[in-house]
Structure 1
Amino acid sequence: MTFASRLTRQPIPHDADAGAEAARAFADLGPDLAGLLAGTAGCSPYLNGLMTREEAWLRAALAVAPEAAAEAELAALAPVVLADLPGALRQAKRRLALLTALADLGGVWPLETVTGTLTRLADTAVDLAMKALVGEEIRRGKLPGQGPDDVAAAGGMVALAMGKMGAAELNYSSDIDLICLFDETRYPGEEQDARAAFIRVTRKMAAMLSDMTGEGYVFRTDLRLRPDASVTPVCLSMAAAETYYESVGRTWERAAYIKARPCGGDLAAGDRFLKVLTPFVWRRHLDFAAIQDTYDMRLRIRDHKGLAGPVAIEGHNMKLGIGGIREIEFFTQTRQLIAGGRDPSLRDRTTVGGLAALAAKGWVPEATAAELTDLYRAHREVEHRLQMVQDAQTHLMPATPEGVDRIARFCGEGDTARFRDALRGRIDRVAELTEGFFAPGEAEAGPELTPRMAEIVEGWRAYPAMRSQRAVQIFRRLRPQLLRRLMRAANPEEALVALDGFLAGLPAGVQLFSLFEANPQLVDLIVDIAGTAPALARHLARNSSVLDAVIGGAFFAPWPGTATLAADLAAKLAETADYEKKLDVARVWRREWHFRIGVHHLRGLIDAFEAGKQYADLAEAVLAAIWTPVAAEFARKHGPMPGRGAVVVGMGSLGAGRLSAGSDLDLIVICDAQGVEASEGPRPLASRAYYARLTQALVTALTAPMAAGRLYEVDMRLRPSGRQGPVATALAAFADYQQTEAWTWEHLALTRARPVAGNMDLGAEVEALRRDLLAAKGQGARVIPDVAGMRARLAAAKPGGGWEAKAGPGHIMDIELLAQTAALRAANPARRLEAQLRAGVRSGFLSREDEGALLAAYRLLWRLQAGTRLLSETVLDPDTLGEGGRAFILRECGAADMAELAAMLDRLTAAAAAVIDGHLPVEAAA
């Protein structure tokens, strides 16, 4: 489509004479184009001059689609030689400035196409200038080791486009912000000579683009966003820049790199540099402290520019003033900094795209994002009109009513009063939508406290989290919210003591206090945890980063299941090459998911049985994902696994798919070297030693205390021959042992065995062997006497009873023992207790009444066990259990008070013990 066919609007001439003259000059183009050109000439002396100077080119450009005209102008620059490049670039700038202005004023192009076209010109200019100048340095022999073929990659030099250029959002008279770097690895031992050449290139390039000549200028070029610009050269090595950002990089520099992209020279090297810088820009934790940094920066800008005070249309700064463009950009970028480290989908360089991404993930309400997008586009159009008048790099509304009248006409509005009202409304609305996010409120008065509570609160001043003045300032605003919510707890003083333990354990405060201030729902959660599970609160103080997950977008989404969890962790492990870092990544990831399960259970979103399943899913996912890097790291040293490899088998509660918050993992490893005697690698090992040491490597990966803690404690005593047997067992030896040497208790253990990681084809054979063994061993005459004897020994070693859910007559271990016996006797492969009991009923070993009594006791006991392990690591003690914890346990167990719960336990466990006594009598053990 031609330019004229796409016109939707036009400006109104402010200077009637200039407009009339342009209308006459271009009357032959038709009334629509003539009207557009007349309105433009009557509002902008600068564009009027360009129309006269480039009239012949303009007539041709307006006869075709504007995209084709722009492409032709950019393509014409490619073959230009260095000597002619400054003039050619200035001509292209004049023409594209005129074309984009008319496409903007006529509504032919949306904002993004206007700014995108200006940015493409800037990219082209930087790239051509840089490569031409680097080529000259190479020709003169000033770049060590570089030849003509290296010009295409600018000898390893790259320009990073920052700010609006990086986001393809250049305004009409924008300068361009560049950071120039070079890849020092191309110049081993000769870095200083290379740097000197690249500094010359940078200075000449900036002059070529910026200098005003009779032909005009291309782009004003600003190099001050580079690291420590007051003392560093205009072009730095990538290593020097990386060192700076890692050591002293600031929040505003992180925000600047949201929009950064390579725009000229060695684009691949630029991409590598930005990837290296990812941890600096995008923090792994939710960085709410960035809000305060941005708020302080906004105030400094306003004070420096004299922009504080009431808004007046005359002289208002559309970029930096209250309700201006920068407010929307800061609003968007700060939220991206907060959450983009955890969610790469939020890392859009553009303001409009960033708002859309934030809305899609729930960080900004969709209505707010849509409204800010419209306001942003409207503000940018006014900004462009201000700059088009005289090609001035300005964001200030005119200082006189006549000047405002000109801008109103330039925007196509003939009623200046209406223009003023609409503009003022947009400014006020931007301020309204953004100010509340940045401006911290004043500290409110807190609730009245008892003397003991007041003494505790006073002691907070001395905690490590309050070391910095910034932390103290944030916490002063936060404290009244904390205390008000505490006063709603079942026992406020008790909850305050628990919260005190949480605060005392915090190593630092700024990040966490900022997180709380920006997300009041987390305050409720912390108070809930402190008032219910003080031990969990103390753990949380040492691992507060898990709170990021609560507001990270998926904390309350449906449970994803083992396969999705394993794939997610595997993807995260693949992002780092370092083995030790992989183990830390796994610990942080597991800790967040483990915390999620606990919170869901504590708040009643899931019950004890769903929590048990989720803990088991999580453990299985960790094993499945961690096995790959453990095996790969071991293979790197000792070669691939001999034969078919190995399978990790979950035993006990893991095999049954039901863990509590504090469960360790019962594992065995079964391997099959297929007769291969040794591995083939840098340091080969005999097959038996290989699998034994690989198993130890897995155990170490799970249990080693690292910066992020442990993954799990591991128990391997269920392997053949227990502690005396090899930690990895060959498949044939395992089968032979189970057939000829294993005790009845080892066959009972097989009833819950389940392959969870490693070679799952081998796991299928282990499962087939398990089923055959259950069928072969379950009917032996010694099964019942052996189990009865085992029960007697367990009772003597762990008498349990009372509030101890696991040990004792008719308690969990006792019921599990009978359920496993039922599965073994029935040769049934069921692993879960409920299914094992049902198998016992079907085989006639148990009656339905037996099943009912056992299940009633087990369900209550499991709820008690799961709830207790969430609150503490010890046996439930009602006398020391806080009111919040007591309420949680009673809710879980369905009792009105602790006396009723005790009576229920006595009654149901006695009934279960009677059933078990009937099937595993003491005399049978004799």
Structure 2
Amino acid sequence: MTHAPFAARLTRHPIAFAADAAADAARSLADLGPDLLPLIHGTAGCSPYLKGLMLREADWLRAALTISPEAALAEVLEPLDTLSVDTLGAGLRIAKRRVALLIGLADLGGVWRLEAVTGALTQLADRAVHLCLTRLVAEEIRRGKLPGQGPDDAETGAGMVALAMGKMGAHELNYSSDIDLICLFDETRYGGDAPEARAAFIRVTRRMTALLSDLTGEGYVFRTDLRLRPDAAVTPVCLSMAAAESYYESVGRTWERAAYIKARPCGGDLAAGQRFLHSLTPFVWRKHLDFAAIQDAHDMRLRIRDHRGLHGPIVIEGHNMKLGVGGIREIEFFTQTRQLIAGGRDTALRGRTTVGSLAALAEKGWVPPEVAEDLTALYRAHREVEHRLQMVGDAQTHDMPATAQGVARIAFFSGTEDVAGFRAALTARLEQTDFLTEGFFAPGQVEDGPELSDSARAIVDAWANYPALRSDRAVAIFQRLRPSLLRSLMAAANPDEALVAFDGFLIGLPSGVQIFSLFEANPQLVELIVDIAATAPVLARYLSRNAAVLDAVIGGSFFAPWPGCAALTGLLAEHLSGVTDYEGKLDAARRWTREWHFRVGVHHLRGLIDAFEAGKHYADLAEAVVAALWPVVGAEYARKHGAAPGRGAVLLGMGSLGAARLNAGSDLDLIVIYDSADAEASDGPRPLPPRLYYARLTQAMVTALTAPMAEGRLYEVDMRLRPSGRQGPVATSIESFRAYQMTEAWTWEHLALTRARPLAGNPDLAAEVEAFRREVFAATGQGPKVLADVAEMRSRLQAAKPPEGAWEAKNGAGRLMDIELLAQTCALRLADPARRVEAQLRAGVKGGFLSQAGETALLAAYRLCWRLQAGTRLLTDRKLELDRLGSGGRAFLVRETGEADADALSARLEALVAAAAAVISERLGEKDGAGDATD
């Protein structure tokens, strides 16, 4: 890319504060021409340091300003690679002078924006660190102090790496910045010689620091700070990666996590450095939303202010632009803390730069776009003032001058003679920064809560002994949270019930800091928890054991439209692809599924979807889990036993899963059919014959779904609908499946097949199974014994599973299973491929087996029973006893079923169930025989 020359890009210039100094420089550099002289004049009149550099480097400057600053920078940096260890110190110092002069003029003249200025400084720092490190490592290798290393190893630091931290890591170095480095070495490269290598690398680090930092006649390169390393007071200046990783895993603190947001390898073995940073990912980026980091950041801010005496109102004289109220650090803390909160779940939020990270946070909904824009503008303006403070005398300062005259110099340096206007604008920017950031960090004051009855007071007083409130930190956050929480509970329809239910949630929490921080930062979650606690105690108890699912509520898309099965499958597959080990994938699938399952329940509970939408969503989720996990399980199994012999297998969803309608507590009915295609065995390290291969693969898939792991289990799985039930093999060959269905299967097995649906596996085999399923119906559905068999089955089911109480929705005459049985009979008799109850009953009408009046009666009962069953399973895992549900639960069920009250619901349920039972009995010949459809 070709860049325009320096002079052609000038947009501004300082105004000389010291006229004599300005005139002196202008005379010496008069030959630069009229376009550049205002910049030279103003700069020299404000900065003794830059005036001195201009005069000292006048010859170089004349040539540099005739070309683009990008080309001039390259001409300074490129020759550095030829320097030896003996000439490196002087060469780097000359380069630093010239780069500092070039960058200063490009900044002051508006030729480069902030990111180009800080980026150029960082380029020099990177080059200097890498050259010093590799040249000094080469010396250690030449002296035989690094066992097993040769001259070629020096270019990669022989396993040593310097990590750029802070502003250097983010390419954001300020004008007179020091550089923060952490020096490490890869101990695995040395085995038993690691202690000797460590001694050599410590020498390298100390000599490198001296090469960069020592002030000589040529100046210095960069002041170097090594204090960000683990436990800096007691550890050597260079330590092994294993020791550093052990430290962070055991005692690493929030500020160290924040520091590693910007970390990157900048010198030496960059690949080893990148591997080390990858190993720290779990330390830096927590898998759950980490709102507790807000309190840590706030505490750190207060400690800094206390230490520096930076409290009090904003006064321009002496104000610290970095650490003071409304300063640069406030914006950086604001940005980094939000990154720590959400970056564990969203890699797009792990950027190193402040401006870039603010934009990412706004795009993802973590910061309002207008706030991100304002903070970006404030950050850039603050950094420009900071640079001018440092350019005056090349001092690593962030303090505004202590005198009015000194402040006036900075105003002139910033291009304005209106000192009062400069002061007012700076004050306004500081105050705006403070306004935008302070509310995010500073916790609210403890308020008075509502008056409580004696019984309520007894419950609340007991909270002090709960596990979630064991730590002082949890107690402090909860004390601020409790008044608003109690007000919400007391505003519930039945406050006593809501308080008891919330108590059940609270007592189940194993710890409180994260969840209480989450509530404090997101007050709307308190209302959600109160709603859940007052309506669905089972869901509240689930939440207390799995509080991390609340992360999803504030993750940005919790209330977005349902994505559908295909999108969910892709999302889960992508999620699992980022996990390396098999058990990790299974745990990751559990976390992911739990969040989506919770989302469906909350949407249903709050009336955003009805029972039928919830049923489809639960089924979509289960299908996505099966479809995404099947290849994961297959790949793990193939690693031991080779690829699946033949054409592979297909998983069929049966029952409610096949019909794509589940409730909150449904298990999964599955069967597996495979085609070995005459293969004799698999081809892996431990080959297996097809029957054994697919049987064990099926068992592995069942285990993947059902095994209780650190993150719980996914689903219960029922495989009793496979050929021969419990006595049959867990996986069936396509040939055996065909033969069994045509010659041995009972009518109930053909009925079960009416809801079978391929979920995962070989698509060609799935199509073949589906075609055969339809053949079975055509061949067997008209048999003379079908209706008699169904009637007998119905009788047995009703004897084995009678209704449990008046509110039973599933078992019993005229209820869900009874209606589903007749619907399946319709599909079987009419050889219709439909799987859902509604479509199967419609097939019965079209085929003349069922009257429209009969269909209407069955659907009315089915819809009411499904709404009641889906709502019940969301609220409780026991039989429904409406008078024991609580007012919130009763209100939910009444609303869900569309009745005015519980009495009306009871009467309607009784009437519809009776009407449906009569239709079913008549159609199965239990009254008037199995004649033609009634009118």
Give the TM-score taking structure 2 as reference length. 0.98
Equivalent residue in structure 1 for 2:888, among 884, 887, 894: 884
1:879 maps to a residue whose letter is D
Q: Does 1:205 align with 2:205?
A: no
> Distance between the aligned counterparts of 2:854 and 2:329, measured in 1?
72
Secondary structure in 2 matching 1:478: helix
- Give yes or no for the alignment of 1:866 onto 2:870: yes
1:475 and 2:469 matched: no
Shift of 1:640: 2.2
In 2, Cα distance between the equivalents of 1:466 and 1:327? 30
What's the CA shift string for 1:208-227, capped at 9, x where partnerless? 01010000000001111011
The residue aligned with 1:893 is: 897
Instruction: Give, in whole Å, the separation in 1 of the partners of 2:820 and 2:29.
Output: 94
Unaligned runs of 5+ in 1: none
**Residue of structure 1 equivalent to 2:622:** 619
CA drift of 1:184 comes to 1.4
Could you say which residue in structure 2 is the equivalent of 1:854?
A: 858
* 8 Å contact from structure 1 (residues 670, 729) kept in 2: yes
- Greater CA deviation, 21-30 or 819-828? 21-30
Contact residue 22 and residue 34 of structure 1 kept, 8 A: no
Q: What amino acid is aligned across from residue 43 of structure 2 in structure 1?
A: T
In the TM superposition, 1:285-304 aligns within 5 A as 285-304=288-307
The offset of 1:115, in angstroms, is 0.3
Match of 2:442 among 439, 443, 465: 439
Task: Report the AA paired with residue 830 of structure 1.
Answer: A
Given candidates 329, 334, 343, the residue that maps to 1:326 is: 329
- Residues 329-350 of structure 1: per-residue CA shift (max 9 Å, x gap): 0000000000000011111101
Helix, strand or coil: the match of 2:446?
Answer: coil
Asked if 1:920 is matched to 2:924, the reply is yes
1:142 aligns with 2:145: yes
1:178-577 alignment runs, 5 A limit: 178-577=181-580
Q: CA deviation at 1:570?
A: 1.8
CA distance in 2, matches of 1:802, 1:759: 46
- The range that moved more, 243-252 or 305-314, is 305-314
Paired residues of 2:534 and 2:888 also in contact (CA < 8 A) = yes
Distance in 1 separating the partners of 2:752 and 2:86: 84
- CA apart distance, 1:31: 2.4
Residue identity in the other structure for 1:586: A
One-letter identity of the residue aligned with 1:726:
P
Greater than 6 Å deviation, 4+ residue runs: none
Relative to structure 2, which stretch is displaced further, 850-859 or 531-540? Answer: 850-859
- Give the Cα separation in 2 of the matches to 1:249 and 1:875: 49
Deviation at 1:925, TM superposition (A): 9.9
1:132 is displaced (CA, Å) by 0.9
User: What is the CA-CA distance between 1:244 and the residue it aligns to?
Assistant: 0.7
Residues 880-904 of structure 1 show CA distances to partners (whole Å, capped at 9, x for unaligned) of 0111111111111001100000111
Deviations 1:251-291 (A, max 9, x none): 00000000001111111111111111111000000000000
- Equivalent-residue separation in structure 2 for 1:250 and 1:700 (angstroms): 38
Alpha carbons 1:655, 1:753 under 8 Å: kept: yes
**Deviation string for 1:459-517 (max 9, x for gaps)?**
10000001001100000000011111112211011000000000000000001000000
Measured after TM superposition, the shift of residue 675 of structure 1 is 2.0
Deviates more, 1:740-749 or 1:870-879: 870-879
Give the aligned partner of residue 672 of structure 2.
669
* Post-superposition CA distance 1:615-655 (Å, at most 9, x none): 00110111111112222222222222222221111000000
Q: Does 2:816 align with 1:815?
A: no
| 8 Å CA contact 1:795, 1:809 repeated in 2 | yes
SS at the partner of 2:685?
Answer: coil
Residue 719, structure 1, aligned to residue 727, structure 2: no
Letter in 2 for 1:633: E
2:846 partner letter: R
> Secondary structure in 2 aligned to 1:831?
coil
- Contact 2:641 2:686 (8 Å CA) reproduced: yes
Partner of 2:807: 803
Contact 1:786 1:925 (8 Å CA) reproduced? no
Q: Which amino acid aligns with 1:57?
A: W
> Aligned ranges for residues 590-605 of structure 1 at < 5 Å?
590-605=593-608
Aligned-residue identity in percent: 73
Q: More displaced, 624-633 or 1-10? A: 624-633
Q: How does 1:657-736 map to 2 (within 5 A)?
A: 657-736=660-739
Report how far residue 694 of structure 1 moved.
1.4
- What residue identity is the alignment partner of 1:279? P
Equivalent pairs, count: 926
Say if 2:640 is the partner of 1:637: yes
Q: Is the 8 A contact 2:922 2:930 kept in 1?
A: no
* Distance (Å, rounded) in 2 between the aligned partners of 1:248 and 1:569: 33
Equivalent pair of 2:29/2:58 in contact (CA under 8 Å) = no
* Corresponding position of 2:107: 104
Residue 880 of structure 1 aligns to a residue whose secondary structure is helix
Give the counterpart letter for 1:120 in structure 2. Q
Q: Distance in 2 between matches of 1:560 and 1:273?
A: 37
Instruction: Output the aligned Cα RMSD.
Output: 1.2
Which residue identity lines up with residue 102 of structure 1 in the other structure?
A: L
**Distance across 2 between alignment mates of 1:132 and 1:825:** 85
Q: CA deviation at 1:28?
A: 2.6
Match for 1:848: what amino acid?
Answer: Q
Determine the C-alpha separation between the residues in 1 that align with 2:855 and 2:846: 11
Q: Distance in 2 between matches of 1:557 and 1:141?
A: 64
> Does the CA-based 8 Å contact 2:140-2:200 persist in structure 1?
yes
Q: Are the counterparts in 2 of residues 788 and 925 from structure 1 also a CA contact under 8 Å?
A: no
Q: Show structure 2 runs of 5+ residues with no match.
A: none
Asked if the contact 1:486/1:496 (under 8 Å) is kept, the reply is yes
Determine the C-alpha separation between the residues in 2 that align with 1:74 and 1:559: 54
Kindly state the Cα deviation for residue 678 of structure 1 after the two structures are TM-superposed. Answer: 2.6
- Per the alignment, residue 842 of structure 2 pairs with 838
Match of 1:739 in 2: 742
Which of 168, 172, 178 is the matching residue for 1:169?
172
Name which of structure 1's ranges 19-28 and 658-667 shifts more when overlaid on structure 2.
19-28
* Range with bigger deviation, 543-552 or 842-851: 842-851
What is the CA–CA distance in structure 2 between the aligned matches of 1:633 and 1:107, rounded to whole Å? 58
Counterpart for residue 750 of structure 1: 753
SS of the equivalent of 2:191 reads coil
Does residue 93 of the first structure (1) align with residue 96 of the second (2)? yes
CA deviation map 1:34-84 (0-9, x unaligned):
010110000000000000000011111111111111111111212222211
Structure 1 counterpart of 2:821, one-letter code: L
- 1:70-89 paired onto structure 2 within 5 Å: 70-89=73-92
3-state SS in 1 of match to 2:823: helix
Task: Measure the CA separation in 2 of the matches of 1:413 and 1:833.
Answer: 79
Q: Are 2:155 and 1:152 equivalent residues in the alignment? A: yes
SS at match of 2:873: helix
Of the three residues 7, 10, 26, the one matched with 1:7 is 10
2:687 aligned partner, one-letter code: P
- Larger displacement relative to structure 2 (702-711 or 558-567): 558-567
Counterpart for residue 827 of structure 1: 831
Alpha-carbon distance, 1:686 to partner: 2.6
Q: Which amino acid aligns with 1:886?
A: R
1:658 and 1:38 map into 2 onto residues whose CA distance is 79
Cα offsets for 1:96-150 (capped at 9, x unmatched) = 1001110110111100000000001100111111111111111111111111221
For residue 23 of structure 1, report the CA deviation from its aligned partner. 2.1
CA contact (8 A) 2:565 2:624 kept: yes
Q: Partner residue of 2:768?
A: 765
